[in-house]
Amino acid sequence: MKPWFTLTGLALLSFASPMAQAFDLMDAWQAAQAHDARFAAASYARDAGQEQVVQGRANLLPQVSINGQTGKDFNKEPERNNSRSQGWGLQVSQPLFDMGKWHRYKQGQINTDLADEEYRLASQNLLLNVSQAYFNVLLAQDQLRATLATKAAYLKQLEQAKAMFDVGAATIVDTYEAQAGFDAASAQEIAAKTTLKMAQARLTQLTGLPANTIQKIDGERVSLVTNQLPFETWLDTAINHSNQLKIKALAVQTATENLGLSQSERLPVATLNGDYQDSYNRISGNEKRNTRGSSVGIKISMPLFSGGAINSQVREAKAKELEAKAELEAATRDLTEEVRQNFLNVTNGQAQLVAQENLVRSAKAKLDATTLGKSVGVRSNLDLVLAEQAYSDAVQQLANARYTYLQAHLTLAQSTGLFNENLETLETINQLIVAETDSFEPS
C-alpha cells in the first residue's frame, strides 16, 4: 500500500533513548492500550459482543433436556402400604421453521460485528487522545520555555533601566515599562506552569508513564511530513472503511432484521418434538409397576388474530428502518465534510507552518534591530518590550502550529477507518522523535 504520509527531503532515523524510562509517541500508544481503563472496558465489551452470535445460533440447534423424580407416599391407614415412585424423562426439540429465531440469529451476527467496530473505533480514539496529550505536553513545555526566556529578557531590561535611571541616563518611565513587561511575563509563567502540569497529568492518566520523561519532537523537521494522496482518495477510503460509517450501516441491518422479526410473527412456527419417559412404581410389597413410553410429533402454531398488535409492530419496525437509513445518509454526508476539513487542515497546515516560521524570523530580526536601536538611542524601552513580546508570541504560535499540523495528519488518517491497522502515520511522525529526553519540569 502506498504510504499516506512520508518524510521528504531526507531519511530520518529513530534513536534509542539513553534513559530506560524515556518514551516516545509509539511507546505512549502501546502503554495506553494496557493502561487506559476506558479502553479496557471497550475490550471487554467486544468480548461480550462475540457471544451474541453464539447465543443466536443456539436457538437454531436442537434443545435437549432431562428430568428425574423420586418420591414416597406414607399412608396412615394400616391396611395400605407405603408406595414409592421413581422416574426420568428425556425431551428433545428441534425448530423446523421459525423465522423469528432465524432473524434473532442474524441479529446476533450483526451485534458481533458491531462490537468489533466499536472496539476499533475506541482504539483509534484512544490513539488520537494519546497523541493529542503527547503534543499538549510538548507544546506546554515550549510555551513555558518561551515565557521564561521573555521573562529573563525583561529582567535584564529592568536591571539596565534601573541602573541607567540611577545615573540619570534614563527616565523612570523606562523602569516602569520594563517592570510591567516583567510582571506580565511572571503572570504568564504561572499560567504556563499550570498548563504544563495539567497536560502532564492527562498524559500520565492515559499511559501510566511519567510525563516528565517524554521525548522531544524535532520541530525543524515537522514540515517534512507531507500528504501523498489527493482528497478523492481519502474520501473514497473513508466511505468504504470508516468505523463510524460501518456502525451506522450495521444499525440499518439491525433495523432490517427487526422488521423481519416483526413480520415473522405472522408466520407459522413448526417444531419437531421427541419425548421418552421411564417410571417405576412400587405400590405394595410385591406389587411393582414399570412404565416406559416415547413420543415423536410436530407442533405447528400460527397466530390468527392479535388485536392488531403485529401490524402495529411491523409499521413501527419499518419506520425505524427508514430512520436508520436516513441516519446513515446523514453520517455519510457528515463524514464527507469531516474528511474535507481534515484534508484542508493538513494541506493548509503546511503553508501555515512556513508562514509561522517566517514570522519567527521576522520577529527575531525586529527584536535584534530594536535592541540595537535602543542601544544607540533611536528606540525606546517600550519598543523593546513590545518587540520581546512579539517574538515570544511568534515562537509559541509556531510551536502550536507544528503540533496542530501533526495532529491533523493523525485525525485525517483516523477518519478513513484503516489508521489503526497499519499505524503508518503514527510511525512516520514518531520518526521525528529525537534522542534527547524532554524532562523539562517546572519548579
pLDDT reading at 431 higher than 90: no
pLDDT band at 442 (very low <50, low <70, confident <90, very high): low
pLDDT band at 288 (very low <50, low <70, confident <90, very high): confident
58-62 contacts, C-beta under 8 A, 24 or more apart: 59/95, 59/101, 59/104, 59/105, 60/95, 60/101, 60/102, 60/105, 61/94, 62/92, 62/93, 62/94
CB 278 within 8 A of CB 68: no
pLDDT band at 274 (very low <50, low <70, confident <90, very high): very high
Q: How far apart are CA 393 and CA 184, in angstroms?
A: 13
pLDDT of residue 190: 96
Which residue segments constitute the domains of the chain, with CATH numbers given? 5-62+98-266+309-438 (1.20.1600.10)
CB 406 within 8 A of CB 135: yes
* Residue for grid cell 515562537: 395
For 272, counting Cβ atoms within 10 Å of its Cβ (0-12 exposed, 13-18 middle, 19+ buried), the class is middle
Q: Kindly report the number of other CB atoms within 10 A of residue 423's CB atom.
A: 14
pLDDT of residue 19: 45
SS3 80: coil
pLDDT of residue 10: 34
pLDDT reading at 18 higher than 70: no
- For 143-196, how does the pLDDT look when each residue is reduced to its tens digit (9 = 90+)? 999 899 889 888 888 888 888 888 877 788 888 888 988 899 899 999 999 999
Q: How far apart are CA 104 and CA 85, in angstroms?
A: 42
- For 375-428, how does the pLDDT look when each residue is reduced to its tens digit (9 = 90+)? 887 887 788 888 888 998 999 899 999 999 999 998 998 888 877 656 778 888
Distance between first and last Cα of the chain: 47
Please provide the size of the chain in residues: 443
pLDDT reading at 31 higher than 80: yes
Q: How far apart are CA 157 and CA 381, in angstroms?
A: 8
If we measure between CA atoms, which residue out of 58, 120, 10, 80 comes closest to residue 422? 120
CB 7 within 8 A of CB 424: no
Q: How far apart are CA 414 and CA 426, in angstroms?
A: 10
Is the pTM of the predicted complex or chain greater than 0.85? no
- For 101-138, how does the pLDDT look when each residue is reduced to its tens digit (9 = 90+)? 999 999 999 999 999 999 999 999 999 999 999 999 99
In the chain, the percentage of residues whose pLDDT exceeds 90 is 58
Q: How far apart are CA 316 and CA 313, in angstroms?
A: 5
pLDDT of residue 205: 94
pLDDT reading at 16 higher than 60: no
Q: How far apart are CA 63 and CA 60, in angstroms?
A: 9
pLDDT of residue 229: 86
Q: How far apart are CA 317 and CA 310, in angstroms?
A: 10
C-alpha cell at 398: 509556531
* Residue for grid cell 477518519: 415
* Residue for grid cell 506552569: 193
Provide the CA 408 distance to its chain's centre, in angstroms: 16
pLDDT of residue 342: 93
Q: Which amino acid is at 147?
A: T
Average per-residue pLDDT for the chain: 86
Task: Taking residues 357-367, report their average pLDDT.
Answer: 93
pLDDT of residue 441: 59
pLDDT reading at 15 higher than 50: no
Q: Which residues contact 256 (CB under 8 A, 6 or more apart)?
A: 321
C-alpha cell at 152: 529573563
pLDDT of residue 271: 94
pLDDT band at 356 (very low <50, low <70, confident <90, very high): very high
